[in-house]
Amino acid sequence: MARRAATAAIEIELKSTVAGLLLQSQLALAGSELPSPIAERLRMVAELAGNLRQQLSAPLPARGDTAA
């Protein structure tokens, strides 16, 4: 039971952090004219954060260990 609670807490923190990265990078890209190298890096951060968000949203494969 404690393991599930800890896992859920970490998952929530990760999802929140990734959502913040995605939002802030998208806002920065939409905000104003940025030098090309910076805009490209922000696009990469947004893409990576989006990919990580999808991975975190995917269901975990079932595991045989049910010990808590």
d(CA 65, CA 8): 17
Q: Output the furthest CA–CA distance in the chain (Å, rounded).
A: 53
Q: Tell me: the pLDDT tens digits for 7-47? A: 889 999 999 999 999 999 999 999 878 999 999 999 999 99
Is residue 66 predicted with pLDDT exceeding 60?
no
Per-domain boundaries in the chain: 2-56
Q: Distances in Å between the alpha carbon of 49 and those of 3, 31, 38, 44, 62? A: 26, 19, 16, 8, 25
Compare 54 and 65 and report the one with higher pLDDT. 54
Residue 48's pLDDT is what? 95
Which contacts of 23-31 are long-range, i.e. CB under 8 A and separated by 24 or more positions?
Answer: 25/49
The model's pTM:
0.73
pLDDT band at 1 (very low <50, low <70, confident <90, very high): confident
d(CA 53, CA 34): 25
